[in-house]
Amino acid sequence: MKSKSQFRQVAVIGKYQASTSGSAGAASRQTLEGIAHYLMDEGCDVVFESDTAANMGLSGYGSMPVAQIGAECDLCLVVGGDGTMLGIGRQLAQYKVPLIGINQGRLGFITDIPFDQYKKALQPMLAGAYEEDARSLMQARVMRDGTCVFSALAMNDVVVNRGATSGMVELRVEVDGHFVANQRADGLIICTPTGSTAYSLSAGGPLMHPSIDGWVMVPIAPHTLSNRPIVLTNAAEVAIEIVAGRDASANFDMQSLASLMHGDRIVVTRSEHKVRFLHPKGWSYFDTLRQKMHWNEGVA
């Protein structure tokens, strides 16, 4: 049978934390198997990501670790929520494999195809009718006495936080080597346009269209109210030094964590890699915002 899909080998990745026992586990396995069978009917060779296959008890299918998916697959379907997509997006960015998100989470800003509509949405996409959307990444390093002691990629944000039981932290902020300010606050967020709808938004930061080559720097509960969010070019290098405060930490997409000491510098630069998202034809970022932010509710 001639393939109906322009993507020959397709990987499926499920939510790693999904329950593998009881009715919830059975439903999750059934969901993933249903998607796999649909893809095979469309002429795709389907593999599951290794941890997904092992954790969900999916036997009888091919499986690959993430690096092999990056090297060999033409497309990756991520079934879950935005957290699942953030994790796999960081890992696959270097391979330039396009990603499609099927939403089984809550918000779904980047896993934007509702599960109950995936067949209708995927059929034209597999045939080549889709919108492509490239999202930038940040490369962050924790420098201690001139040595890098921790590094990570972030698609959403890099967040420096005070300790859970301590007072404010004092942070010295530089952009491209130029002193910006010493800030006393609960913390500081550097976010990408993708991350502008996450923690940054709740801290008072602006929404940024994903096509903008910029970042937002947002203080968290600053002591000086004139410390406001500022938009930066993502070609800049941002350095945040821990001046004072106990038990400060750095989070990268809220998944990686580094404990910090006085004098540590968190250095953020633009990654050379981007994440490739595919969306249904006619997709609009503003449609996503309107739906997820519940704009126009109550308007006739």
Same domain, 141 and 70: no
Same domain, 110 and 205: no
Distance CA(300)–CA(297), nearest Å, equals 8
Same domain, 37 and 113: yes
Same domain, 265 and 236: yes
Of the three residues 105, 128, 151, the one that is the final residue of a domain is 128
Same domain, 158 and 119: no
Flag whether 27 is in a domain: yes
Same domain, 95 and 151: no
Same domain, 123 and 172: no
Which of the 8 DSSP states describes residue 200? Answer: H
Same domain, 182 and 256: yes
User: Strand pairing partners for 182?
Assistant: 172
Of the three residues 128, 159, 181, the one that is the final residue of a domain is 128
Cα–Cα separations (whole angstroms), residue 64 to 22, 68, 69, 97, 266? 26, 6, 6, 14, 34
What's the domain count of the chain? 2
Identify the active-site residue in 45, 51, 74, 82: 82
Q: What confidence tier does 2 reach under pLDDT thresholds 50, 70, 90?
A: very low
> What CATH code is carried by the domain that includes residue 235?
2.60.200.30
Flag whether 294 is in a domain: no
Which position has the higher pLDDT, 18 or 279?
A: 279
**What is the tens place of the pLDDT at every residue in 207-259?**
999 999 999 999 999 999 899 999 999 999 999 999 999 889 999 998 878 88
Contacts of 31 (CB under 8 A, 6+ apart): 14, 79, 104, 115
**What is the tens place of the pLDDT at every residue in 230-240?**
999 999 999 99
* pTM > 0.95: no
Distance CA(37)–CA(60), nearest Å, equals 12
Tell me what percent of the chain is helix, strand and coil, each rounded to the nearest 5: 25, 40, 35
Q: Measuring CA to CA, which residue among 82, 27, 83, 25 is closest to residue 54? A: 25
Q: Measuring CA to CA, which residue among 215, 218, 219, 220 is closest to residue 232? A: 215
Flag whether 1 is in a domain: no
For the question of residue 176 being annotated catalytic, the response is no
Same domain, 104 and 20: yes
Same domain, 145 and 207: yes
Question: Which domain does 107 fall in, by range?
Answer: 9-128
Flag whether 18 is in a domain: yes
**What is the tens place of the pLDDT at every residue in 40-53?**
999 999 999 999 99
> What CATH code is carried by the domain that includes residue 106?
3.40.50.10330
Q: Is 132 exposed, middle or buried (0-12, 13-18, 19+ CB in 10 A)?
A: exposed
Flag whether 219 is in a domain: yes
Torsion region of 245: left, alpha or beta (phi above 0 gives left; psi -120 to 50 gives alpha): left
Flag whether 4 is in a domain: no
